[in-house]
Amino acid sequence: MLHGVALKPAKSRKSSTLSGTVRIPGDKSISHRSFMFGGLASGETRITGLLEGEDVINTGKAMQAMGARIEKLGAEWIIHGTGNGALLAPEAPLDFGNAGTGCRLTMGLVGVYDFESTFVGDASLSRRPMGRVLDPLRDMGVQVRSSEGDRLPVTLYGPRTPNPIVYRVPMASAQVKSAVLLAGLNTPGVTTVIEPIMTRDHTEKMLQGFGAELSVETDGNGVRTIRLEGRGRLTGQRIDVPGDPSSTAFPLVAALLVPGSDVTIENVLMNPTRTGLILTLQEMGANIEVLNPRSAGGEDVADLRVRASELKGVTVPAERAPFMIDEYPVLAVASAFAEGTTTMLGLEELRVKESDRLTATATGLKLNGVDCDEGRDTLVVRGRPGGKGYGNPAGGAVETHLDHRIAMSFLVMGLVSEHEVTVDDASIITTSFPEFMDLMTGLGARIDGLAGEAA
């Protein structure tokens, strides 16, 4: 037992041709922000295409606990927000489960309020560093009580008048950038975030859509300065959430690897801060056709036709890491089947995800026969096209450490390995992609849960 819930192992087996057309559930980052900004804005927000994974639902519950009214009518989520600056003190600790984004962004959103809020989460979230968000909040005048090393549980108490800060984000993190901006929403004056390395820009775009006075300036070196005028009015919006490119990665890599496959994935978010994996796979020789590119709700969206391809190893530069940060485990799986060596650089942030993803990926690859080396912030994979000898015939299970993306990546690996690949827990997949099993098996993937449950 890792999280008080019995683990649910699963395994995948060599599959023949994957084919069909699928629609991926809504983007997780945009779904979290839709609940948050809708819950905060004046008037009504209507959301379609929302990701109904556990992570996002926890964010919705937190917004309800702070005064937002949220209901689902047919396919639409309808939110009546409190109005900016008018969140209510939550009566009980806010439980974010497995979700770093929900927790860290909400800490920014409510931490500056002149009342107490407490944040808790599961075993994975409770291991993750919160200091990266708590430090700028302290600068704004927030009192913090936290467990050792700035871990959860965390209790925040904001000042009567928060202090607008100029904050240079010390690591490439959209969560940290967003937490400071959201704190700025209830802070008088201009809060400024300097972002030396660009990360996903959903917070900036969506806040502008809700009517915030927010400007972005980019200098000749790509350093972005984001200025937000605090205590302005936000107005409810209509949002159609596009499909999650990070979830798309799993059927996409599976279709590339399983010989003869031809899969179309519809309505995928193509925001350039999220398409690093597609670019990398194309450099590796992947046949990914971008069809019907269009703009929807201020975001680029397209359909992707993916056909099985012979891949070759490449070097993935460190600068690309922020644009494909959640996709390295599944890229590592793709690399294991490529001709030659793939070298991934600049991976230090992988160590503070739902698991230490660098170690979890390298350990899982080795367990299943892949030749790879884990460095401090690098991963080198020497591929073997065809996957002969891959998998673990003894049934040794990949340890997922409560990390949904580790579970899904290794289940993709089993579809092209000579022997079965087993993961110790598939239940965690529901945090981001509840439809994963059905969608993959619908395409022809041989994945199943194991009878009996491991302790």
Side-by-side strand order, sheet with 10-13: 397-398, 421-423, 10-13, 446-449
**CA 189, CA 185: separation in Å to the nearest integer?**
9
Strand order in the sheet with 341-344: 315-316, 341-344, 379-382, 371-374
Closest distance to ligand S3P from the beta carbon of 202 (Å): 7
Alpha helix (H) ranges present in 284-396? 328-336, 357-367
Position 244 contacts ligand S3P (CB under 6 A):
no
Residue 427 and residue 411 in contact, taking contact as beta carbons nearer than 8 Å: no
Out of 303, 326, 403, 424, name the contact with ligand S3P by CB under 6 A: 326
CB 408 within 8 Å of CB 400: no
Which residues, 73 to 102, sit near ligand S3P by CB under 6 A? Answer: 101
Nearest residue (CB) to ligand S3P, 34 versus 368: 34
Of 393, 441, 319, 398, the C-alpha closest to 19 is 441
**Residue 181 vs 263, nearer CB to ligand S3P:** 181
Phi, psi torsion values for 369, nearest 5 degrees:
90, 10
Span interacting with ligand S3P, options 140-148, 155-163, 170-178, 188-196, rule CB under 6 A: 170-178
Looking at residue 4, the DSSP 8-state letter turns out to be S
Amino acid 141 reads G
User: Contact with ligand S3P (CB under 6 A): which of 31, 106, 173, 309?
Assistant: 173
Q: Is 55 a catalytic residue?
A: no
Residue of 95, 201, 326, 424 marked catalytic: 326
Residue 173 is assigned to a ligand binding site:
yes
145 annotated to a ligand binding site = no
Tell me whether the omega of the peptide bond preceding residue 322 falls within 30 degrees of 0, making it cis.
no
Of residues 329-368, those binding ligand S3P (CB under 6 A)? 349
DSSP state of 217: E
Q: How far is the CB of 325 from ligand S3P (least distance, A)?
A: 5
Q: Least separation, in Å, of the C-beta of 350 and ligand S3P?
A: 9
Sign of CA dihedral 426, 429, 431, 436: negative
Nearest to ligand S3P of 80, 274 (CB atom): 274
Part of the chain binding ligand S3P (CB under 6 A), chosen from 75-83, 167-175, 231-239, 361-369: 167-175
Inter-residue contact 455 to 8 (CB < 8 Å): no
Placement of tokens 């992609």 in the chain: 433
Question: Is 29 labelled a binding residue?
Answer: yes
Q: Which is nearer to ligand S3P, 206 or 256 (CB)?
A: 206
List the one residue from 178, 335, 361, 427 that touches ligand S3P (CB under 6 A): 178
* Mask for 23-62, x = binds ligand S3P (CB under 6 A): ------x---------------------------------
Nearer to ligand S3P, 242 or 414 (CB): 242
Cα–Cα distance for residue pair 90/423, rounded to 1 Å: 37
Please identify, using beta-carbon distances, which residue of 140 and 182 lies nearer to ligand S3P.
182
Phi (first) and psi of residue 409, to 5 degrees: -60, -45
Report yes or no: 347 and 328 within 8 Å, Cβ to Cβ. yes
Nearest to 227 by CA among 166, 142, 272, 174: 166
The least CB distance from residue 173 to ligand S3P, in Å, is 4
Q: Which is nearer to ligand S3P, 99 or 367 (CB)?
A: 99
Do 288 and 303 meet the contact criterion of CB atoms below 8 Å apart? no
Q: Is 224 annotated as a binding residue?
A: no
121 annotated binding-site participant: no
Give the integer Cα–Cα distance in Å for 455 and 453: 6
Q: How many residues at the interface with ligand S3P, by CB under 6 A? A: 10
26 — phi, psi (to 5°)? -60, 155
Residue 174 interacting with ligand S3P (CB under 6 A): yes
Going by the annotation, the residues of the binding site for 3-phosphoshikimate are: 28-29, 33, 173, 175, 326, 353
**Where do contacts with ligand S3P occur on this chain (CB under 6 A)?**
29, 101, 173-175, 178, 200, 325-326, 349
Active site positions, annotated: 326
Going by the annotation, the residues of the binding site for phosphoenolpyruvate are: 28, 100, 128, 175, 357, 405
Going by the annotation, the residues of the binding site are: 28-29, 33, 100, 128, 173, 175, 326, 353, 357, 405
